[in-house]
């Protein structure tokens, strides 16, 4: 009897777990519509429901009673702001040029994180992480979808530069790499999570004056 019950529970788990993991893709802000506004490069301001697609540097806008949808690329948009339906916080994104090794600088959407005296730019990324808890099943049950961030700052030429790695931070702040690594290890800092990253930046704030972004963004 107990064996049959265990088999039944296992069957239910096998059927339901892939559906649960699949549903994870909806637990991120990029999959929702948010109230907000878009400022185009010609100065026109458009208000309505917004959905953003950072992977493609596109933003959708629904307006009017008919809920007509328009799509804008980062070349057309100066910035857009939303009140996040999922997290219930205000968020602002800017279309900025990023430097590449080839010298080509396309416009990409970056979110501005305002934390005290310092402003960091970020691009969120949804990645697959090994699923190490519970029953090790084959297929989609073996990973979780996790929200991570890549971090950037604006240099003196108002160009976006990466600052999310230890060596990049060492080159920007006048502190030894050993001190930075020790702080990261002691405080279990994850350089791909915005709360942890800003905790580190604010801790070493006296060395991080280059991170101010608002003046370059015209705020």
What does the pLDDT read at residue 188? 96
Cα–Cα distance, 191 to 105 (Å, whole number): 25
pTM of the model: 0.79
Cα–Cα distance, 156 to 203 (Å, whole number): 23
What does the pLDDT read at residue 23? 46
What does the pLDDT read at residue 17? 43
CA of 115: how far to CAs of 3, 77, 125, 199, 212, in Å?
Answer: 56, 24, 20, 9, 10
For the chain, domain boundaries? 2-211
* Cβ contact 79:95 at 8 Å: yes
Tokens of 78: 């100066």
CA of 76: how far to CAs of 95, 115, 123, 179, in Å?
Answer: 9, 28, 19, 43
Tokens 């008919």 belong to 66
What does the pLDDT read at residue 213? 60
Q: What are the pLDDT tens digits along the chain (219 aa)?
A: 445 444 444 333 334 444 444 445 568 999 999 999 999 999 999 999 999 999 999 999 999 877 889 999 999 999 999 999 999 999 999 999 876 667 767 899 999 987 666 778 999 998 887 766 555 544 545 778 889 999 998 877 777 888 999 999 988 887 889 999 999 999 999 999 999 999 998 888 777 655 656 556 765
* Cβ contact 30:52 at 8 Å: yes
Q: Which residues contact 93 (CB under 8 A, 6 or more apart)?
A: 52, 59, 79, 80, 81, 82, 109, 110, 111, 112
Tokens of 28: 């991120």
* Cβ contact 179:210 at 8 Å: no
Cα–Cα distance, 52 to 34 (Å, whole number): 9
What does the pLDDT read at residue 4? 47
């Amino acid at each position: 009897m107990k064996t049959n019950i265990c088999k039944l529970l296992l069957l239910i788990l096998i059927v339901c777990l892939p559906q649960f993991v699949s549903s994870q893709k909806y637990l991120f802000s990029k999959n929702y519509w948010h109230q907000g506004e878009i400022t185009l490069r010609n100065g026109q301001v458009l208000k309505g429901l917004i959905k953003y697609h950072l992977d493609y540097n596109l933003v959708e806008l629904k307006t009017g009673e008919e809920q007509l949808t328009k799509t804008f690329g980062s070349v057309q948009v100066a910035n857009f702001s939303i009140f996040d339906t999922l997290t219930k916080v205000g968020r602002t994104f800017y279309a900025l040029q990023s430097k590449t090794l080839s010298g080509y600088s396309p416009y990409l959407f970056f979110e501005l994180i305002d934390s005290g005296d310092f402003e960091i730019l970020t691009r969120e990324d949804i990645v697959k992480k090994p699923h190490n808890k519970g029953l090790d099943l084959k297929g989609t049950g073996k990973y979780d979808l996790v929200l991570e961030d890549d971090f950037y700052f604006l240099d003196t030429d108002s160009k976006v530069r990466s600052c999310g790695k230890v060596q990049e931070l060492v080159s920007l702040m006048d502190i030894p790499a050993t001190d930075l690594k020790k702080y990261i290890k002691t405080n279990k800092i994850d350089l791909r999570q915005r709360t942890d990253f800003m905790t580190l930046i604010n801790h070493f704030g006296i060395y991080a004056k280059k991170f101010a972004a608002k003046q370059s963004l015209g705020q």
